[in-house]
């Protein structure tokens, strides 16, 4: 989360999915699509969305607490935008305060997940959707954001339980979107172009974290 609010993400661009569908329809010309094909593709028409279940989570064991809809943008990733990155944050506050600000429509930012010091994971935005967490529109659209309870200048906040739970979460995200488990695709908020944030900070142990993610990825495979 860092030291200040992330700027709001702006209006939704036309996604790859809409462009592909439009191109397909244009190429087809006057050809009539089969009824079953139309039934399969109806939700891909811009403005029509796939059904969602209220309270559904993308990571088993996570607890759902909805962020304010002012802090994210509805999408249908990876069809709208390919997901190829995980961005690591530190909240600069308590778990409860992070949940509270992500529920505040005036805050202007929220991440998909928050990992508590004891390893508990709360999901606040579906991975389908674009969270305003990186302060960079392109990075928002292509990433999943994970917040971690604590302060960047307090290494004691980064507990074993937190590292291990977060690593399992990141490994699952990488598996879901075929993201390479490396430091080009798993980055800190500080590494986002144009950011003025410092998290996850100098005390975040990247060597340890990446080893845990790789081990979790192997175990899940």
Convert the pLDDT of each residue in 50-100 to its tens digit: 678 989 999 999 999 999 999 999 999 999 999 999 999 999 999 999 999
Max CA-CA distance within the chain?
65
In which band, very low, low, confident or very high, does the pLDDT at 21 lie, cut at 50, 70 and 90? very low
Mean pLDDT, the chain, rounded, equals 86
How far, in Å, CA of 152 to CA of 157, rounded? 8
DSSP for 30-49, please give it: TPPPPHHHHHHHGGGSTT--
Kindly report the pTM of this predicted structure.
0.81
In the chain, where the domains are located: 12-48, 63-220
pLDDT tens per residue, range 167-190:
999 999 999 999 999 999 999 999
Q: Which of 18-22, 54-58, 177-181, 209-213 has the lowest mean pLDDT?
A: 18-22
- CATH assignment of 63-220? 3.40.80.10
Tokens for 69, please give them: 């809809």
């Amino acid at each position: 989360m860092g030291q200040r609010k992330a700027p709001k993400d702006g209006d939704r661009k036309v996604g790859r999915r809409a462009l592909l569908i439009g191109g397909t329809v244009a190429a087809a010309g006057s050809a009539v699509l089969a009824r079953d094909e139309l039934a399969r593709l109806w939700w891909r028409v811009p403005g029509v969305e796939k059904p969602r279940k209220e309270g559904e989570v993308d990571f088993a064991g996570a607890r759902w607490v909805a962020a304010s809809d002012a802090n994210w943008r509805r999408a249908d990733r990876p069809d709208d935008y390919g997901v190829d990155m995980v961005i690591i944050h530190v909240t600069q506050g308590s778990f409860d305060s992070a949940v509270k600000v992500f529920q505040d429509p005036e805050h202007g930012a929220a991440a998909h997940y928050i990992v508590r010091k004891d390893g508990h994971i709360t999901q606040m935005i579906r991975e389908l959707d674009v969270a305003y967490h990186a302060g960079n529109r392109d990075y928002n659209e292509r990433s999943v954001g994970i917040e971690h309870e604590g302060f960047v200048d307090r290494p004691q906040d980064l507990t074993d339980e937190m590292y291990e739970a977060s690593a399992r979460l990141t490994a699952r995200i990488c598996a879901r979107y075929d993201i390479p488990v490396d430091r080009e695709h798993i980055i800190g908020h500080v590494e986002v172009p144009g950011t003025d944030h410092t998290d996850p900070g100098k005390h975040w142990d990247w060597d340890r974290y990446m080893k845990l993610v790789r081990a979790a990825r192997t175990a899940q495979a």
